[in-house]
């Protein structure tokens, strides 16, 4: 461990640490443009020069290119080095345009800061400035190439870190240009990060163009809830409008970056149609009045039909507080427990996954980067949880082998082995791999159940082409030191999460170290699974309504019309209800139908907590106080010249507070009264769910708190080592319909974003060439797909990277796919027509 002295302060760092990082650890921030802790050094900008006074290196050197070594004495304030840096900035400014007033980076521009810090105020160079023509880079990124100082950060991120090729460096030397070969939308779903990392204003945020300066924004740490990973973000709000999101550094979750879905998905908060007033049918009333009316209706139904006549649906996009309060509400009223999942299968899958994670097995994305073998089962990272793909790419850059077992045409921004097998064959394929790579003795050590698991696993996968490819993969797995299994929960069968966990346990026994990483469907699916005790589902609730045993339905930030497979049936059920109460912040279809509607607050307006898919409890602060954006009230003109005390449209409240108020009115005397204090709610959660007892309710935002049900459990194989025998003998007359996610267009909240809507691809049906040739269909033909309750028309795409016997379709916003009676869907082959 080299020990060195920087500005008189001593520090010991790991071998390989650069001097610039060592200094940062001491709190000395050496100027930098090209160096980025996420991207590493390149030595392009020359502005991090420091003076090495003693030790193996002497003189003025680049601190980002020099490894810290023993005996180094470094001065950052040395006159020679400071003078060097000053001149570097002057050189960089030679061609920089003087357009700070019309540049969106102004105010948080690194070049601006360092120009001021370097004292360069007057231009001495009288020659002409180099100029570049700009490119159209799509909806998210604004290009202004004149401002470039050639630090290479964008290219290094875009190509090396993220693995996309369409943006890079063109030309040479003085003419180096960063851009695309031709104008066009950037292909990478991580393109927004080049805005964050560009030290000047070459790439600026297009949707929030000219909306404000950094100093005008209300900024705060928050969370991204557009997938289950829970990336850390910084919010910027101004004039009651969320304007911009940026990545917030998180050691274990997202690192320095976030994906475009997270960055541009927040526009549901400002949605012009977002309901902001409470409603009784179509009449807008005050929130208190609506609560009173709701209380009366609920009391009536409870008296007439008993406490079980009202059902509640929560959602996995709600925060822990909302979910917990809904459960508490139902328990105190003696109602049925609320439901958080669409189908019983989904509930079981998630609950099993949640039950299997423990502190040793669960890995964060940072640990995935360190893995040398990644096995993804039923997961499509770029589409389901984009940042996971980025983490996997870092593992790939560290020479890891990456294998994806999935029926869908999975794309990842790096080379990987794709084993396209049907959903039924995921488990056999996975276990066959594990069996090939793990010796039986490892299973023996772990006990009877492990052995049963090992023995039930198929020795080899029957399908020949895939079997052949598996040989090499098995070999790699056998040599791996740190394998990680990534398991999706959306398209897989009920038992797959358990099988993945069992496999990970076996791998751990054999390799000494292994990780398990589940992907879940929504931001707080993990929390919902932890909190809800029953495995009820929306399907059950709909059945009860049809039977007439349920007369009232309360939706808390949930829109079953989006996710329930049979739209017509749900609509008819809702029409039968005596009371249909909706609390939400989205202009959802359910909100429109509601008899009673309550506006709730989004994540950005309240203090909340979410549990991400690895069981990490994360906290978000409120970014602003809510209300209708000034730009919407004044229709673009100046703010109204009226004085008022309240915030226009600021009636929304956190759903859990509305629930608490409602409960306090309908509660019979003697029953528990709910407080509106978040601490009180959390102490209830900690009491009812001991797993949450260690979660600190603090003002600071801890991000290293994980809750795991499996912690300290003696029985490692709760499933008893059972493996469902695969459905390898498939009849050839039907195709299974698999509905997956797309990066843009399928996730509920982000579909309300007008910018993501512009980059959404049109939904299409994927089919393997084998099936297509049997049906005589050609690529890009329009076809009709018959479903239980109607047909769908869309384009057909034939891809050879997917499993035969399966057709894949996104749960796309533009697709009215909710015509399905029951999962899984089998489509008779002959019925797919042009």
Query: Can you give the binding site for another protein, defined by CB under 8 A?
Result: 97-102, 106-107, 127-134, 144, 146, 170-171, 173-175, 177, 209-213, 215-216, 239, 630-631, 634, 636-639, 641
Cβ nearer to another protein, comparing 94 with 693: 94
Cβ nearer to another protein, comparing 124 with 547: 124
Q: What's the CA gap between 412 and 418, in Å, rounded?
A: 10
Cβ nearer to another protein, comparing 29 with 102: 102
Q: What's the CA gap between 594 and 282, in Å, rounded?
A: 9
Cβ nearer to another protein, comparing 1 with 126: 126
Cβ nearer to another protein, comparing 93 with 194: 93
**Residue appearing with tokens 């035969």:** 804
8-state DSSP, 175: G
Q: What's the CA gap between 633 and 41, in Å, rounded?
A: 48
Cβ nearer to another protein, comparing 638 with 644: 638
Cβ nearer to another protein, comparing 146 with 159: 146
- Residue 413: C-alpha distances to residues 166, 392, 487, 787 (Å): 12, 9, 19, 34
- Per the CB < 8 A criterion, the answer to whether 74 and 28 are in contact is no
Transcribe 268-330 into DSSP letters. Answer: GTT-TT---SEEETTEEE-HHHHHHHHHHHHHHHHHHH-GGGEEEE--TTS-HHHHHHHHHHH
From the number of C-beta atoms within 10 Å of its C-beta (0-12, 13-18, 19+), residue 598 rates as buried
Cβ nearer to another protein, comparing 100 with 728: 100
- Per the CB < 8 A criterion, the answer to whether 381 and 365 are in contact is no
In total, the chain counts a number of residues equal to 834
Cβ nearer to another protein, comparing 16 with 636: 636
Rounded to a whole number of angstroms, the minimum distance from the CB of residue 381 to another protein is 34
**Residue appearing with tokens 């204003």:** 201
Q: Are strands 278-280 and 596-599 parallel, antiparallel or unpaired?
A: antiparallel
Q: What's the CA gap between 232 and 223, in Å, rounded?
A: 5
- Per the CB < 8 A criterion, the answer to whether 326 and 332 are in contact is no
Cβ nearer to another protein, comparing 134 with 535: 134
- Residue 340: C-alpha distances to residues 80, 348, 400, 522, 681 (Å): 64, 11, 37, 11, 19
Rounded to a whole number of angstroms, the minimum distance from the CB of residue 64 to another protein is 27
DSSP β-bridge partners for residue 617: 611, 705
Burial 341-375 (b: 16+ CB within 10 A, else e): bbbbbbbbbbbbbbbbbbebbbbbbebbbbbbbbb
Q: Are strands 790-798 and 734-740 parallel, antiparallel or unpaired?
A: unpaired
Helices 538-547 and 567-576: angle between axes, nearest 10 degrees? 50
- Per the CB < 8 A criterion, the answer to whether 557 and 314 are in contact is yes
Q: Are strands 241-247 and 49-54 parallel, antiparallel or unpaired?
A: unpaired
Q: Which helix (H) or strand (E) holds 74?
A: strand 73-75
8-state DSSP, 93: T
Rounded to a whole number of angstroms, the minimum distance from the CB of residue 636 to another protein is 6
Rounded to a whole number of angstroms, the minimum distance from the CB of residue 95 to another protein is 9
Rounded to a whole number of angstroms, the minimum distance from the CB of residue 180 to another protein is 11
Q: For residue 731, how many other CB atoms are within 10 A of its CB?
A: 8
- Per the CB < 8 A criterion, the answer to whether 362 and 517 are in contact is yes
3-state secondary structure 12-61: ECCCCCEHHHHHHHCCCCCCCCCCECCCECCCCCCCCEEEEEECCCCEEE
8-state DSSP, 673: P
- Residue 338: C-alpha distances to residues 304, 315, 542 (Å): 21, 9, 13
Rounded to a whole number of angstroms, the minimum distance from the CB of residue 215 to another protein is 6
Residue from 372, 504, 375 nearest 429 by CA: 375
Rounded to a whole number of angstroms, the minimum distance from the CB of residue 191 to another protein is 20
Q: For residue 673, how many other CB atoms are within 10 A of its CB?
A: 10
Cβ nearer to another protein, comparing 133 with 679: 133
Q: Cα(first)–Cα(last) distance of the chain, in Å? A: 68
């Amino acid at each position: 461990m080299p020990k060195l002295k920087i500005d008189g302060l001593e520090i010991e760092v790991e071998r390989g640490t650069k001097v610039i990082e060592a200094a940062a650890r001491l709190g000395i921030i050496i100027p930098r443009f090209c160096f980025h802790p996420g991207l590493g050094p390149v030595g392009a900008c020359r502005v991090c020069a420091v003076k090495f006074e003693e030790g193996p290196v002497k003189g003025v050197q680049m601190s980002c290119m020099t490894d810290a070594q023993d005996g180094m004495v470094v001065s950052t304030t040395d006159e020679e080095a400071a003078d060097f840096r000053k001149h570097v900035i002057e050189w960089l400014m030679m061609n920089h345009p003087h357009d700070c007033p019309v540049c969106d980076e102004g105010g948080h521009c690194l070049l601006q800061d360092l120009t001021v810090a370097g004292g360069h105020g007057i231009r001495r160079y009288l020659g002409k400035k180099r100029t570049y023509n700009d490119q159209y880079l799509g909806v998210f990124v604004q290009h202004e190439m004149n401002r470039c100082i050639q630090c290479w950060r964008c290219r290094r991120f875009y190509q090396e870190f993220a693995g996309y090729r369409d943006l890079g460096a063109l030309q040479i030397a003085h003419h180096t240009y960063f851009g695309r070969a031709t104008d066009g939308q950037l292909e990478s779903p991580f393109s927004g990060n080049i805005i964050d990392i560009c030290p000047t204003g070459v790439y600026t945020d297009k949707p929030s163009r000219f909306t404000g300066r950094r100093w005008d924004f209300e900024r705060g740490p928050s969370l991204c809830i557009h997938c289950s990973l829970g990336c850390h973000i910084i919010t910027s709000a101004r004039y009651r409008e969320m304007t911009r999101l940026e990545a917030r550094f998180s050691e274990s979750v997202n690192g320095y970056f976030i994906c475009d879905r997270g960055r541009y998905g927040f526009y549901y908060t400002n949605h012009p149609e977002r309901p902001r007033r409470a409603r009784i049918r179509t009449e807008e009333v005050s929130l208190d009045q609506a609560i009173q009316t709701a209380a009366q209706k609920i009391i009536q139904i409870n008296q007439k039909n008993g406490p079980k006549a009202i059902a509640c649906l929560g959602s996995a996009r709600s925060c822990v507080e909302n979910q917990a309060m809904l459960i508490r509400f139902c328990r105190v009223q003696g109602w049925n427990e609320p439901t958080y999942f669409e189908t019983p299968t989904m509930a079981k899958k998630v609950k099993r996954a949640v039950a299997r994670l423990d502190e040793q097995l669960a890995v964060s994305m940072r640990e995935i980067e360190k893995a040398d073998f990644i096995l993804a089962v039923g997961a499509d990272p770029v589409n389901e949880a984009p940042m996971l793909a980025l983490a996997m790419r870092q593992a790939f850059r560290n020479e890891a082998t990456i294998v994806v077992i999935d029926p869908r045409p999975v794309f990842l921004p790096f080379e990987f082995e794709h084993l396209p097998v049907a959903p039924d064959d995921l488990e056999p394929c996975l276990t066959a791999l594990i069996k090939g790579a793990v010796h039986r003795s490892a299973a023996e050590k772990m006990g009877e159940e492990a052995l049963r698991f090992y023995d039930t696993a198929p020795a080899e996968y029957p399908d020949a082409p895939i079997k052949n490819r598996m040989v090499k993969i098995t070999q790699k797995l056998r040599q791996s030191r740190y394998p990680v299994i990534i398991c999706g929960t959306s398209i897989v069968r009920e038992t797959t999460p358990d099988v993945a966990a069992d496999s990970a346990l076996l791998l751990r026994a054999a390799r000494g170290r292994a990780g398990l990483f589940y992907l879940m469907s929504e931001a707080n699916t993990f929390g919902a699974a932890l909190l809800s005790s029953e495995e009820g589902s929306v399907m059950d609730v709909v059945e009860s309504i049809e039977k007439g045993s349920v007369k009232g339905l309360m939706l808390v930030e949930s829109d079953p019309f989006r996710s329930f497979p049979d739209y017509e049936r749900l609509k008819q059920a809702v029409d039968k209800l005596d009371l249909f109460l909706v609390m939400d912040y989205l202009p959802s279809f359910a909100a429109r139908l509601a008899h009673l509607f309550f506006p709730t607050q989004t994540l950005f307006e309240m203090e909340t907590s979410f549990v991400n898919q690895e069981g990490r409890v994360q906290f978000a602060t409120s970014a602003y106080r809510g209300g209708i954006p000034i730009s919407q009230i004044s229709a673009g003109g100046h703010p109204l010249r009226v004085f008022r005390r309240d915030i226009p449209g600021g009636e929304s409240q956190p759903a859990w507070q509305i629930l608490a108020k409602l409960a306090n009115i309908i509660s019979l005397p003697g029953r528990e009264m709910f407080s509106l204090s978040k601490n009180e709610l959390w102490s209830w959660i900690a009491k009812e769910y001991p797993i949450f007892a260690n979660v600190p309710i603090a003002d600071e935002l801890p991000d290293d708190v994980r809750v795991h049900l499996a912690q300290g459990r003696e029985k490692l194989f709760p499933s008893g080592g059972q493996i469902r025998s695969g459905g390898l003998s498939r009849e050839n007359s039907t195709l299974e319909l698999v509905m997956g996610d797309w990066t843009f267009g399928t996730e509920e909240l982000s579909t309300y974003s007008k910018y993501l809507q512009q980059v959404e691809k049109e939904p299409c049906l994927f089919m393997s060439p084998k099936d297509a040739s049997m049906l005589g269909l050609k690529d890009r033909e329009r076809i009709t797909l018959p479903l239980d309750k109607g047909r769908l028309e869309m384009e057909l795409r034939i891809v050879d990277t997917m499993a035969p016997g399966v057709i894949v379709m996104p749960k796309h916003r533009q697709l009215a796919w909710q015509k399905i009676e029951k999962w899984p869907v089998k489509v008779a082959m002959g019925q797919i027509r042009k």
